[in-house]
Chains A and B, each alone.
Chain A
Amino acid sequence: MSSKIDELSNSLDKINAGQTLQVADTEIDELLEVATLLHKAALPVRPPEHILSVTVQRAADGLAAHKKSRHNAWLYSGVLGAAAALLIFVGINGFPSMQEVVPIVTPAPQNAPVSSNASARLDVNPTTPVAPLKEKKTAAPESNAESSNAVSTPSSDTASKPATPSAPASATPSPALSSLPRQAPASAVQSMKVAFPPTAMAVRLAGRTPDSIIKDSSAGTIRQVFDSGTPRELIITQRIKPLAENDTAASSGQQVLRETAKGKSEALTSLNKVVVVINGQEVTLEGRQTIAELTELSKTLSPATM
């Protein structure tokens, strides 16, 4: 009897597995006929609760894994986005501030007098308004002294020529000429951040030629760098506006410029600084030279003349 029960059970397992059977026992064969009929009927049946709960839990795990992967995808994309934004931010702020750096392209003629050479390079034509930043950056070497560029490289002709009437030697322009900036087109005037006064001349260091001249129109400063990149590097920063007339904007601009110099000095070694006043303009000398040397150098400074 027991063997028949086991044989029937085994046979049912085989039917469940889709196998066809040939059973010798008639009684078992009759019962298997019923089982086959039920199988073919494919009646719907709900799985037992314990199987259902385990299967539903497994499906829920799959769903959770699906949500987690989607969440992770969002997280990763968010992190990547933040990293990209950070890179862009660092990239933008990592560049040096957009100051007006005007390198000297053409070396000065050896026989030319230093004064005329320096003044030619730093020629801020008092009769014309200071050109906008974009124009200054694109200053071509062939531009002549009569162009409206704030700083131009002189040709040998202009260096040797005496000052033209439009660029008077006197630091104080004539009333007629000084009125010219007001007659300039409105668009040109509006494009200027700070209109340099007609007296905007860089101070001159006797016997020395600056490597570069940085004009910061927003801060109202002119910055000259001598022996750039050497231990003897000297930076002369000149505030164009008279001290008494400094407004808040100019002061903040000056402060920014000083901070830049300070940061640079910290990167190298500590710089010494001497501040002198020439013609009512504050002039700062910075360098690794001693205070005494800087003081001596400051004595050789003279107002630029055209």
Chain B
Amino acid sequence: MSMENKLKKVLLVDDSQSTNFFNKMIIERTNVSENIVIAKNGLEALEYLQSESVPEVIFLDINMPVMNGWEFIAEYQKLKEEYKGSIIILMVGAELNHEEKKLAESIPEIREFNEKMLTKKVVCDIVDKYFSYSTIELYSKR
């Protein structure tokens, strides 16, 4: 992982402390991001997005109290363009059912589904896919 590719900020949105602890550690170990921020639900994440700088990647859990993942996305879509620069990875605890799958596919902001518990490989693959030079080029052209 080269230093030029290092991300500024990654946002983990999950109510489970254990998951947040594990995923934060995995991302730290892959050393792809300077900052790792944690929000406990959708509402916290929204507030963060509007008060701080926008993270490159958001790892979003679905089942959360106060505001769940779907509700968060609905609100996210209403935000000004300046707050909407993130790649959203939907974190899935168990397999999605048919309706959930359809709903997720219909939302363009969701780029990936992933197992809740990250692995180093998954993190590296995401960064490689969306933030390597060539990828950035492709992405910016689009």
A and B: real partners? no
